[in-house]
Amino acid sequence: MPGRVALVTGASSGMGRAAAAELCRRGARVMAVARREPLLAQLAAETGASYVACSLETRDGCEQAVEAARSQLGPIEIIVNNAALGTAEDGSVLDLEWDAWRRIMNLDLDVPFLLTKLAAADMKRSGWGRIIMVSSTAGQVGGPGMAAYCAAKHGLLGLMRATAADLASHGITCNAVLPGWVRTEMAERSAGRESARRGVPVEEIWAERASSSPAGRIATEAEVAAAIAFLASEEASGVNGEAVTVSLGSLW
């Protein structure tokens, strides 16, 4: 991995930030992408990552991110499709409005497709590449009040498997990580919404989530980042089309 050019989306906080930092630690040249420039600047100061602040919700934004990586660092060799909207913005099939459905499906599924398509052109030319999709345990099971999120994360696994088959002959692998509960900013919003709905403290929500795991705790951002970094490594050359769950044995 030393010297490889990596594009990481949703890198201003949470698992994306942890993944960008871990790839930097392992010697990759990282382009971190997110909307919040102050947080990206802090990441850059701490890790040496490059960054571009933009929204990926449009085709122009996706192309801007890819072009920034190419022009500043070189052809993209690793992409981590992590940016997503979570369950706090979601709802049931009865309540969810069309615009909210489309916004979640766009960022959580359409954007990974487009970024993968753009980055894979570089990988095909070089004969080497690593594509990592950040799905979720919600990509394997359904849950109430998260119609769009579950649909998108299930779809992301289908995209991963199709991409793995399409690109394997070019020396490119495509895999997914499926985190369970991780105490990220996005998951905190979900816990807050559940807390308000049920009338219980947020810490009780997190205690319940931890107790649902055989390990009695939830996974950490660092543990998810380590799985991502392995899939991005030279050593993972034989791993393709796989969904790696990082949830300590919990279904969620």
Residue 187 has pLDDT above 90, yes or no: no
Any domain includes 188: no
Any domain includes 51: yes
Tally of domains within the chain = 1
The pLDDT value given to residue 248: 85
Any domain includes 190: no
The two tokens of residue 182 are 């991780």
Average pLDDT over residues 145-168: 97
Query: Residue 18 maps to which CATH number?
Result: 3.40.50.720
Q: Which candidate, 84, 113, 62, places its Cα nearest to that of 16? A: 84
Q: What is the DSSP string of 103-171?
A: HHHIIIIIHHHHHHHHHHHHHHHHT-EEEEEE--GGGTS--TT-HHHHHHHHHHHHHHHHHHHHHGGGT
Band of residue 192 on the pLDDT scale cut at 50, 70, 90? confident
Residue recorded with tokens 């044995």:
249
Any domain includes 111: yes
Any domain includes 228: yes
Any domain includes 10: yes
Q: Is 149 a catalytic residue?
A: yes
Any domain includes 192: no
Band of residue 190 on the pLDDT scale cut at 50, 70, 90? confident
The pLDDT value given to residue 227: 98
Any domain includes 200: no
Q: Which of 41-50, 108-117, 144-153, 210-219 shows the lowest per-residue confidence on average (mean pLDDT)?
A: 210-219
Answering whether pTM is above 0.85, one says: yes
Share of residues in the chain with pLDDT > 70 (%): 100
Question: Active site residue: 149, 154, 156, 246, which one?
Answer: 149
Band of residue 27 on the pLDDT scale cut at 50, 70, 90? very high
**Average pLDDT in the chain:** 94
The angle subtended at Cα 170 by Cα 168 and Cα 175, nearest 5°, is 40
Average pLDDT over residues 202-217: 86
The pLDDT value given to residue 185: 82
pLDDT tens-digit series, residues 59-102: 999 999 999 999 999 999 999 999 999 877 788 999 999 999 99
Average pLDDT over residues 171-192: 89
The pLDDT value given to residue 208: 83
List the domain range (segments joined by +) for residue 49: 5-180+219-246
